[in-house]
């Protein structure tokens, strides 16, 4: 089911949570809403679900205007950040709940068969009789997903699905959710503030800031071509170096890089730790190394340039660098954004 | 650290032996004098003229009527206030509306105001010189000095009991469970019955037990509005006072023993319900919907 948001607005009291957001999610797509807290991502998700009503604009499910359809009849599966499992029901009863209360009457045997099937899908075959308090956080989230899928939703919505789990469980569940999505092909929208999670999991990432979409695209598009300094910074570690643009080139204390489409004037140069390198000869930004951090996959160098700015970059594990060394930071690649 | 600890432990802060004995001693004396002694006296005095007198007092038509009236007041006031309490708690914790905080404060008023003030207020509202008095009189509806007045006064005094138990619990539980149930297709009523109610049942029962005890024991407000007509508008507490003023001490104590018995049952029920987790917000229920829950 294709979802389309058309100029959606939501205001809480005096706070504009969502400002004129238009967005299309293709049928079968897995899309991440990514943004810092307060960016309106959860509000958008809740409006798609029908848990909040928009103050303006329209939400379409396929060709149908779903804006005013109550959550009960909207046919969405919603997975809450803190699972929201019914604590007084067993895992199996939780999963069966939607089928039992549905307006579509189902045979008891049919419900039981479907519960067993879903328990298999989320790999919890033996835990049907347990209560939510008796299983782990990762298992609870899988039960929550099974419960949401039980009513054959047109759309699956997940609010920070792995936010409350520890890093390892998170990574496993991410891969697993991706597999389930490929298997079922259900249109899925999920909210996260974790850029790694969004990039790992989604077909398309929608980046939000202050209730507006600042950029959307495939993980490759947003990573390789961030359209603003905000997106650049939000997606990962970035060094910021003051620069000046003249005649299609950006100059940053000894380093130059070609830029296009920028007017002459002050600018900022953004470079990921992997975009910088270290060299004993110029040209480059003169700097001295203050610390070297050894990590499993390489060495992270902290350096200070003459103007007092700090830079971080990665070099390969074999490279002999140490605190106190002097040399030049060179640019492999960088993004330049005009100031203001 | 604990492996090397042997011998006497240093006293914890505020746990000096003298202080400790003194404090426990004072508390015990207070409990004995102020709480236990009167209860014992009730038992002793009730049977001071023998079992026959006790039985006669209980079986006396006026006492029987007082018991009936008290039970009637409870049978009406408790369900009404339970329904009100659940509705108020639901509205306050699950909806956003203007005046929510104000409502929260207003519900608590009967707790802080003296019941006699409520009684007098009812006189002014429903009395002959009151606002609705003449109209009610014209329609021949008797509220004051009649059973409706007693029930109204009881309801006023006990209005907050159920709501007060439920609001902190439901606040801590948040709205996730109801939202989940609704998104799965459950109706509002179904959501309440199969999701909300099971999670509040012990607190609800706890509130009902406390509410009932208070309705049956209420004296101040009821005494103002009932008119104390023997055998007609006398509840059990009023009946006890009347007997006492008639110098029928044994009768008064016999009637009082019934109320004391109700109190004992209430306490047993209360302790049993607290074991089930009612009466306090569970501090760390791993299955609770909201991890940021806090005791309110």
Q: Are A148 and B184 in contact (CB < 8 Å)? A: yes
pLDDT of residue B226: 86
Q: Does B95 touch chain A (CB under 8 A)?
A: no
Q: E strand or H helix at A79, and its extent?
A: strand A76-79
CATH topology of domain B51-275: MetI-like fold (1.10.3720)
Across the A:B interface, residue pairs with CB atoms under 8 Å apart total 77
Written out in words, the top-level CATH class of the domain with range A3-231 is alpha beta
Q: Where are the domains of chain A?
A: 3-231, 237-338
Q: How far apart are CA A30 and CA A51, in angstroms?
A: 21
Q: Express each pLDDT in A236-245 by its tens digit.
A: 999 999 899 9
| Tokens, residue B257 | 């023993």
CATH of domain A237-338: 2.40.50.140
Q: Is the pLDDT reported for residue A277 higher than 70?
A: yes
Q: Are strands A155-159 and A255-258 parallel, antiparallel or unpaired?
A: unpaired
pLDDT band at A228 (very low <50, low <70, confident <90, very high): very high
* Residues of chain A positioned with their CB less than 8 A from the CB of B182: 71-72
A9 forms beta bridges with: A56
What is the rounded average pLDDT of the residues A201-207?
96
Q: Is the pLDDT reported for residue B227 higher than 90?
A: no
Whole-number Cα distances in Å, A185 to A27, A30, A180: 8, 9, 8
Chain A interface disruption, residue of B180, B182, B200, most A CBs within 10 A? B180
Comparing alpha-carbon positions, the chain B residue that sits nearest to A132 is B287
Q: What is the pTM of this model?
A: 0.81
Q: Are B185 and A98 in contact (CB < 8 Å)? A: yes
> Measured between alpha carbons, how far apart are the two ends of chain B, in Å?
37
* Residues of chain B positioned with their CB less than 8 A from the CB of A131: 287
A8 forms beta bridges with: A21
Encode burial over A55-73: b for 16+ CB neighbours within 10 A, e otherwise: eebebbbeeeebbeeebbe
Q: Express each pLDDT in A67-85 by its tens digit.
A: 999 999 999 999 999 999 9
Interface of A with B in 269-298 (CB under 8 A): none
Q: Where are the domains of chain B?
A: 1-46, 51-275
Q: Express each pLDDT in A109-147 by its tens digit.
A: 999 999 999 999 999 999 999 999 999 999 999 999 999
Q: Contact, B79 vs B180, CB < 8 A?
A: no
Question: Which of the two residues, B11 and A112, has the higher pLDDT score?
Answer: A112
Q: Express each pLDDT in B74-110 by its tens digit.
A: 999 999 999 999 999 999 998 888 888 899 899 988 8
pLDDT band at B290 (very low <50, low <70, confident <90, very high): very low
Q: How far apart are CA A83 and CA A143, in angstroms?
A: 8
Q: Which of A84, A88, A133 sits opposite B286 (nearest CB)?
A: A133
What is the rounded average pLDDT of the residues B8-36?
85
Q: Is this complex scored with an ipTM above 0.90?
A: no
pLDDT of residue A114: 95
Q: Are strands A285-295 and A249-252 parallel, antiparallel or unpaired?
A: unpaired
In whole angstroms, how large is the CA radius of gyration of chain A?
24
Q: Are B179 and A71 in contact (CB < 8 Å)? A: yes
């Amino acid at each position: 089911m294709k979802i389309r948001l058309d100029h959606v607005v939501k205001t809480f009291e005096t706070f504009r949570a969502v400002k004129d957001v238009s967005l299309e999610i293709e049928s079968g797509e897995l899309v991440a809403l990514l943004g810092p807290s307060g960016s309106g991502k959860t509000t958008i998700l809740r409006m798609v679900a029908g848990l909040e009503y928009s103050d303006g604009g329209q939400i379409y499910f396929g060709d149908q205007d779903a804006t005013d359809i109550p959550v009960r009849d909207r046919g969405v599966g919603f997975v809450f950040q803190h699972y929201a499992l019914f604590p007084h029901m067993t895992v199996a009863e939780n999963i069966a709940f939607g089928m039992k209360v549905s307006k579509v009457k189902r045979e008891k045997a049919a419900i039981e068969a479907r519960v067993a099937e879903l328990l298999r899908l989320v790999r919890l075959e033996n835990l049907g009789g347990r209560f939510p308090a008796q299983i782990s956080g990762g298992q609870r989230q899988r039960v929550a997903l099974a419960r949401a899928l039980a009513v054959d939703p047109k759309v699956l919505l997940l609010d920070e699905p792995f936010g409350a789990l520890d890093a390892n469980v998170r990574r496993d569940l991410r891969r697993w959710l991706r597999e389930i999505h490929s298997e079922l092909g259900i249109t899925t929208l999920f909210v996260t503030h974790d850029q790694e999670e969004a990039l790992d999991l989604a077909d398309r990432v929608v980046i939000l800031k202050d209730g507006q979409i600042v950029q959307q695209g495939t993980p490759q598009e947003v990573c390789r071509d961030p359209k603003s300094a905000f997106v650049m910074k939000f997606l990962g570690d970035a060094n910021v170096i003051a620069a000046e643009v003249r005649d299609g080139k950006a100059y940053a204390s000894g380093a130059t890089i070609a830029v296009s489409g920028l007017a002459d004037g002050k600018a900022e140069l953004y470079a990921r730790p992997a975009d910088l390198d270290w060299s004993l000869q110029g040209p480059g930004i003169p700097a001295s190394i203050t610390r070297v951090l050894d990590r499993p996959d390489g060495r992270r160098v902290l350096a200070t340039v003459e103007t007092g700015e700090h830079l971080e970059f990665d070099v390969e594990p074999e490279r002999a660098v140490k605190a106190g060394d002097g040399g030049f930071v060179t640019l492999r690649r960088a993004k330049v954004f005009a100031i203001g | 650290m604990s492996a090397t600890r042997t011998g006497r432990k240093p006293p914890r802060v505020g746990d000096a032996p003298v202080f400790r004995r003194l404090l426990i001693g004072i508390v015990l004396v207070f409990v004995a004098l102020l709480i236990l002694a009167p209860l014992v006296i009730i038992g002793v005095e009730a049977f001071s003229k023998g079992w026959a007198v006790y039985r006669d007092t209980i079986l006396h038509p006026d006492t029987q009527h007082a018991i009936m009236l008290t039970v009637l007041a409870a049978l009406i006031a408790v369900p009404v206030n339970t329904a009100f309490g659940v509705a108020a708690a639901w509205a306050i914790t699950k909806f956003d509306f203007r005046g929510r905080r104000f409502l929260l404060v207003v519900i608590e008023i009967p707790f802080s105001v003296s019941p006699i003030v409520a009684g007098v207020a009812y006189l002014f509202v429903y009395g002959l010189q009151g606002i609705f008095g003449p109209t009610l009189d014209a329609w021949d509806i008797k509220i004051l000095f009649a059973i409706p007045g007693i029930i109204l006064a009881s309801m006023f005094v006990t209005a907050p009991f159920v709501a007060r138990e439920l609001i902190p619990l439901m606040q801590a539980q948040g709205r996730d469970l109801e939202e989940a149930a609704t998104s799965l297709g459950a109706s509002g009523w179904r959501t309440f019955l199969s999701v909300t109610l099971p999670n509040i049942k012990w607190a609800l029962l706890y509130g009902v037990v406390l509410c009932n005890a208070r309705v049956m024991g209420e004296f101040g407000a009821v005494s103002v509005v009932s008119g104390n007509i023997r055998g007609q508008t006398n509840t059990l507490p009023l009946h006890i006072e009347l007997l006492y003023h008639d110098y029928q001490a044994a009768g008064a104590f016999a009637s009082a023993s019934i109320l004391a018995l109700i109190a004992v049952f209430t306490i047993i029920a209360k302790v049993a319900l607290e074991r089930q987790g009612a009466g306090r917000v569970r501090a760390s229920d791993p299955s609770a919907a909201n991890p940021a829950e806090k005791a309110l």
